[in-house]
Chains A and B, each alone.
Chain A
């Protein structure tokens, strides 16, 4: 390995000091809240869907989901027993200096504490399958951004929907029709297993690893907010229409409301490829965010 010695042109900067203990406390609260209370934008989309749904059985399912959300919020219990392996998106301003310990350990401690009364759904090794007993470790994505803030977003995803998600490396010239076919196919194959009504996160571009992360990040966006790029906003609308024309319906029991939203996130990619990823979120889409 070559080590390049580059002189550090140091100018005095006063970093903002952030204690990892305060990060820990914030993440405990974030996780505890988001497993019991579903986002308001999702609940209003669910209420609208109940009015629109053509299938009587579908309407009944949507009503049960709304009643469940209300009960969970009121009684402060999780909306779904599958409180997943928590995924944390940690955006750190580059002027932040963490003190009082290790950030990674603080995040793990937060998960351990938040999941004390939740289901332990994590095994230490994919093959040996011994439960870690405290739902650690979380999946963490770090990003360094300008500024002096720390922003932590989370998705707590059940694995019914996670297991039906998919990545495809389409060739460069495949174009929009192939993308649409793939996305609709993933939703249709998932059928009842992913617990519809769904939020469909679609990643376009980047690399094999990057496109999956784009699809996941698409699920962080609140419902009702389209992609700012007009051609992608149009793609979102057309995909939603195609998905709801499949007839899969709430819980796959037939109906017109298979998805409540499609969110597309795109990134530049290689001249050879049109990577596409689909990450589905279920009828208990738990997400939250905290800024320090």
Chain B
């Protein structure tokens, strides 16, 4: 298994190196956002308004963290199902978003945009939320604070582990890997 240690912001060269099935350990600033935050960003773009976060070279993690326990910078923070963000994702990729992290399958439209925009989709291990929170060293809501856990979070990752599912070359681990282990 190939491993990559990457730091945000990311370049095209960073994402073009990633192949479906590789492990990535991400460090640096990343943004946490889920359903309603995506809906609001899409509305802002439609109205021609600026987005509350930068996108070029950035990472969005689909997450709604639990409240932090004392001594922890963030509560358990595992990935949520990415497919719900599909309808809002392509315009973000077109504005330079390089990596999205979640779990579960993406739409054909998103997969094609990943190739076109030289971006990648990664899966974090769903259900390993306490362990993943250990790789987030700082967390604060930066936009849409009225949404509580559904706000946009500014996170600082420290070697946050995720596996490449859809790469910028059309590779799709959710398609290829089960086929390799299926029995008639």
Spell out A's residues near B (CB within 8 Å): 54-57, 60-61, 64-65, 67-68, 71-72, 75-83, 117-121, 129, 131, 133, 158, 160, 163, 191-193, 195, 245-249, 251-256, 282-284
Collect the chain B residues with CB atoms within 8 Å of residue A64's CB: 125, 128, 131, 161
A120 & B78 in contact (Cβ 8 Å cutoff): no
Task: Given A56-B1, A118-B67, A247-B179, check contact A81 B125 (CB 8 Å).
Answer: no
Binary flags per residue of B163-184, CB closer than 8 Å to A gives 1, else 0: 1010000000110111111111
With contact pairs A61-B125, A253-B173 given, residues A72 and B80 touching in the complex (Cβ less than 8 Å): no
Q: Contact between B104 and A81 (Cβ–Cβ < 8 Å)?
A: no
A255 → chain B closest CB, angstroms: 5
Chain A CB within 8 A of B130 CB: yes
Which residues of B pack against A, CB within 8 Å? 1, 21, 36, 63-67, 69, 72, 75-78, 80-81, 83, 103-105, 123, 125-134, 148-149, 161, 163, 165, 173-174, 176-184
Please, could you name 16 A-B residue pairs with CB atoms under 8 Å apart, sorted by A? A54-B181, A65-B127, A68-B131, A81-B75, A119-B65, A120-B149, A133-B148, A193-B81, A247-B178, A252-B174, A252-B178, A253-B163, A253-B173, A253-B174, A255-B177, A283-B128
Number of A-B contacts (CB under 8 A): 163
Q: How far is the CA of A80 from the CA of B63 in the complex (A)?
A: 11
Q: Do residues A247 and B181 form an inter-chain contact, with CB atoms below 8 A? A: yes
Which of B131, B165, B181 contacts A255 (CB under 8 A)?
Answer: B181
- B130 in contact with A68 (CB, 8 Å): yes
Query: Which residues of chain B come closer than 8 Å to A284, judged between CB atoms?
Result: 127, 129
User: Which residues from chain B contact A78 at a C-beta distance below 8 Å?
Assistant: 66, 75-76, 129-130
13 extra interface residue pairs, beta carbon distance < 8 Å, beyond A68-B128, A192-B123: A75-B130, A77-B69, A81-B66, A81-B75, A81-B76, A82-B80, A119-B149, A191-B174, A245-B184, A247-B180, A251-B103, A252-B103, A252-B105
Q: With a CB–CB cut-off of 8 A, which chain B residues contact A251? A: 103, 123, 125-126
Contact indicator A249/B177 (Cβ below 8 Å) = yes
Q: How far is the CB of A214 from chain B (nearest CB, A)?
A: 25
* A71-B134, A256-B181 known; A192 vs B66 contact (CB < 8 Å): no
Among candidates A56, A131, A246, A283, residue contacting B126 with C-beta atoms closer than 8 Å: A283
Q: Given A57, A60, A67, A193, which contacts B103 in the complex, CB threshold below 8 Å?
A: A193
Cβ–Cβ contact A245 & B66, under 8 A: no
Q: Are B148 and A120 in contact (CB under 8 A)?
A: yes
B75 & A254 in contact (Cβ 8 Å cutoff): no
Residues in chain B near residue A54, CB distance under 8 A = 181
| Contact between chains at A119 and B64 (CB < 8 Å) | yes
The CB with the most chain A CB atoms within 10 A, among B83, B134, B174, B179, is that of B174
Q: How far is the CB of B134 from chain A (nearest CB, A)?
A: 7
Of the candidates A81, A191, A192, A253, the one whose C-beta lies within 8 Å of that of B65 is: A81
CB of B75 within 8 A of CB of A77, answer: yes
Q: Name the residue of chain A whose CB is nearest to the CB of B125.
A: A64
Q: Which residue of chain A has its CB nearest to the CB of B63?
A: A81
Cross-chain contact of A77 among B72, B163, B180 (Cβ < 8 A) = B72
